[in-house]
Homo-oligomer: A and B are copies of this chain.
Amino acid sequence: MTFRLLVVGSVALDSVKTPFGEVKDALGGSATYFAVAASYFTDVSMVAVVGEDFPEEYIDFLKNRGIDLSGLTVEKGKTFRWAGCYGYDLNTRDTIETRLNVFENFQPVIPAQLKNCRYVFLANIDPDLQRNVLDQVIKPEFVACDTMNFWIQGKKSSLLETIARVDSIVLNDSECRELAGEPNLIRAARIVSEMGPRIVIIKKGEHGALMLDRNNCFIAPAFPCETVFDPTGAGDSFAGGFMGHLARTGDISPENLRRAIIYGTVMASFCVEEFSLRGIASLTERKIDERFKALKEASHFEFS
């Protein structure tokens, strides 16, 4: 059985510079990357805020991907803008500018018809707002959240309250180590799991991902990309593929969680191969499944 997927997060206009080129005011934001990636798997509803300057063509693009925008509000003022710059190895990112604009006073309101969504993703926003969303939804089946160093350092107690209420948390390796206060990643994941989420997912970029589901550890390979143009949005595309596959199948068994991690890996790999959203803007189910199978083939081995 397939379920609708709800995401609450940011929609932004990104200006990104990498050694391979740059874009200005491109469609970005955590909810955007998540929703576009997830839209290949199931119906997605996005709750977010933009300003009056938000281009109509971006609205059209999201609608054309079948994304429900009934929860997208347009406020007086300007859209959230982020500008960043990547170094030659694409592993270091400098934020050049963050202008929150209308996002500063974002108060997510879940439309009545979406309150009973079974699958919910809380993208990287203030943990107070993440809990505010949890107070509005009615008995979801599976809730996952993201966060970032900014909240781990600045709003830890609120973050811990949020984490205690989710089924799964998606972190990158440095965030996991920082949140747990433990350098060993496996031990750190276990500590985070004891904070509440049964399933801890650690993204390691070009080194793949780890999933800790109680004492069951899944080591997921990364797709060996030969061309990496722009890592922006890779983490949210990963989460979109992961949650998208879970909502599509309505199955959170251990085997299907592993499959979902691989779909997340696949979406992240498409994302980084082109600038901005381009890498995930016009995929097909066939292309996605082909890469899933290529990843299986590349990581497969037998005992004897």
Residues of A within 8 A of B (CB): 88-89, 183-187, 204, 206-208, 210, 217-222, 224-228, 255, 258-259, 261-262, 289, 292-293, 295-296, 298-304
Contact = CB atoms under 8 A, between A and B. Distances in A.
Q: Taking chain A's interface residues, is the majority helix, strand, or loop, or is none over half, making it mixed?
A: mixed
Given A207-B207, A224-B210, A218 B301 contact: yes
A183 B89 contact: yes
A219 B219 contact: no
Contacts of A262: 301
Contacts of A300: 258
Contacts of A219: 208, 221-222, 224, 295, 298-299
Contacts of A301: 218, 220, 255, 258-259, 261-262, 296
Stoichiometry, copies per complex: 2
B299 A218 contact: yes
A302 B255 contact: yes
A86 to B, nearest CB: 12
B259 A226 contact: no
A259 B219 CA distance: 17
Contacts of A208: 207-208, 219, 221
B218 A206 contact: no
Given A187-B226, A207-B204, A221 B299 contact: yes
Contacts of A296: 301-303
Contacts of A88: 183
Contacts of A304: 259
A226 B186 contact: yes
B221 A221 contact: yes
Sort A-B residue pairs by CB-CB distance and give the 3 closest, nearest first.
A207-B207, A219-B221, A258-B301
A89 B225 CA distance: 27
Contacts of A299: 218-221, 299
A295 B219 CA distance: 9
A213 to B, nearest CB: 11
Kindly name the residue among A183, A186, A204, A301 whose own CB sees the greatest number of chain B CB atoms within 10 A: A301
